[in-house]
Amino acid sequence: MVQPSSSANGDVDVARSPADLPLSGSPSSRVRHSAKFIASASDSVAIHLDAVAKLAQLLVTHSRCGEMGLDRWKKHELHPKSGDQAAVDWIFVADTLNFSFWSEVEDVTSPEKYAVEYRGKRYTGYWSCCAAINRAIDEGIPILDARYLASITDAQVSHIFRASGKGEMPMLAERRANLQEAGKVLVEKYGGTFLNAIRAAGNSSQKLLETILNDFPSYRDTGTFKGEKVEFYKRAQILVADVWACFEGEGFGMFTDIDQLTIFADYRIPQVLNYFGTMTYSPELQKKLDANYMFQYGEHEEEEIRGCTIHVSELLKNELNRLIKTAGANAPDQPEVNAIVLDHYLWDYRQLHNDDMKHTPYHKVRCIYY
């Protein structure tokens, strides 16, 4: 459901019917078309083009200041810095586990909230997973070894992700299953390392995505919306994006079609987009969010939130790049922004402005896909 506006410079490219969905095409193009279809048929989520244009104006300033660069990912203290196979395998393990980090305990200082103490710092959310992986490596646990993962036990997973307080990482059984599946596939098909899957893709992000989706079932993030199959692929796309960002688009991270990727539809990016008013919810959906309603993966409203998140982000990216291009004479060295860079900036923005967003609820789902 798109609210018209004259502020976003031009017509909105929204698919109007299921017939507009491609029967084939690259994984990212299918995600993009799914999002357009959901946005056109949404009942509970509205997209506001004037707010999209306003946010683009704000972000273009941040882009000019170098705050939306490719190097943001690598600057995070827990992410790998080495440009080698170990970095690739670290990313693969982290993204095989990259789901459902939200907690019923909102207070980040509470001992009841799941947290990992690592090298004198306390980490929560996604960073707790990264800290636990790094802690395991420091302790000599071969968590990057595919053969170890293929037979990893519940007890080993519990030890690796043990909390520093009273909390517990959610969905440990599902994380163990994901790691076992991933380890077995790597051993059987890729010589024990995800690096061989990257090499086989021949510098194509979309070929690598197809490989991930074909060979690793836990990454197949799809659903059905109003009778039509829709595709999201948050974790699969972020896996490719993380490799690209870690290697800064070179070496193992060199993909000639990296700009095809869409934003990664999780629960935090919608929170930011809602905070800025680019997408809003019907009174009924807002009541559910305010009441901490637990959505089911594949539920109608859950898919509307995720689909509209992707579509709003496409509109935002296009408007942002239009502004960058228009200002090209004054800032000729300012690069265009792709969905990965935009996602990283918005996700970090939420982290940095957590207190400001306390009254902007996000949708809660327990699943392995985001």
Query: Known catalytic residues?
Result: 266
Cβ atoms within 10 Å, residue 142: 12
Q: Tell me how far apart the 2 most distant CA atoms of the chain are, in Å.
A: 60
Please tell me the distance from the alpha carbon of residue 353 to that of residue 12, in angstroms, as a whole number: 30
What residue has token string 């939130």? 305
Helix-helix angle 27-41:205-215, to 10 degrees: 80
Annotate 106-150 with DSSP letters as a single string: --TT-TTS--EEETTEEE-THHHHHHHHHHHHHTT--TT-HHHHH
How many residues are listed for the chain in this entry?
370
The span from the CA of 335 to the CA of 331, in Å, is 9
Q: Are strands 228-231 and 222-225 parallel, antiparallel or unpaired?
A: antiparallel
Please say whether the beta carbons of 114 and 161 come within 8 A: no
Q: How remote is the C-alpha of 112 from its chain's centroid?
A: 26
d(CA 248, CA 242): 9
Q: What is the sign, positive or negative, of the torsion defined by CA atoms of 276, 281, 283, 288?
A: negative
Q: Mapping DSSP to helix (H, G, I), strand (E, B) and coil, where does residue 3 land?
A: strand
Q: Do the beta carbons of residue 144 and residue 137 sit within 8 Å?
A: yes
| 238 token code pair | 């972020």
Separation of alpha carbons 122 and 165, rounded Å: 10
